[in-house]
Amino acid sequence: SVGGGGSSVASQAFARTRRELHYSTVGTPDYIAPEVFVKEGYGCECDLWSVGVIMYEMLVGFPPFYSDDPVSTCRKILNWKSSLKFPSDCNVDPLAADLIRKLLCDSPDRLTVTTVKQHPFFEGVDWASIRSSPSPFVPKLKSPIDCSYFDDLPMHPPPKSRAAQPRPQDPAQSTEWLPWGG
């Protein structure tokens, strides 16, 4: 039922299909879990990988597997055990780093939504009433388009279109094997 908190036939059918494995690749490469790239099927746990990437980016300032090109990003993600590092000049809380490492790991070892909520990083969070709790920070906006709480970043011209770039001659440099395009 809509808004009543009950269950409808449509929502049950949706939930049933959501439990199945998926095989398509959708998303920005920086946030995609390794199991999505290998195309052997994946479930909801890949979303928790993305949460780990976002948390890392929020605390460090850039995604953990960032590279100038999507092929290198994909390679770093697939080799996450050697490429996941916290910069020495970033003072990330040890509990936050632990949570990130437990999200950016092999799928069978990854935390679940329940175990994320139980992680010491979230100690003291009342999950049962979080939606009705006041926000610890409420921005005071001057207008609907007020961006004063965001950093001023230099404007760069948009990257060249992929279609305008010459295709690499070396097959090892090719992006054709990448699931999101090539």
Q: What is the pLDDT of residues 96-107, one digit of tens each?
A: 999 999 999 999
Mean residue pLDDT across the chain: 80
Q: What is the pLDDT of residues 160-174, one digit of tens each?
A: 544 444 444 444 444
Q: What percent of the chain has pLDDT over 90?
A: 57
**The CATH number of domain 9-123, selected from 1.10.510.10, 1.10.260.30, 3.40.50.720, 3.90.76.10:** 1.10.510.10
What b/e string do you get for 114-150 counting C-beta neighbours within 10 Å, with b at 16 or more? Answer: eebeebebeeeeeeeeeeeeeeeeeeeeeeeeeeeee
Q: What is the pLDDT of residues 6-50, one digit of tens each?
A: 444 554 544 444 545 555 555 578 999 999 888 778 889 999 999
The confidence band for 2, taking pLDDT boundaries of 50, 70 and 90, is very low
CA distance 77 to 179: 14
pTM of the complete model: 0.68
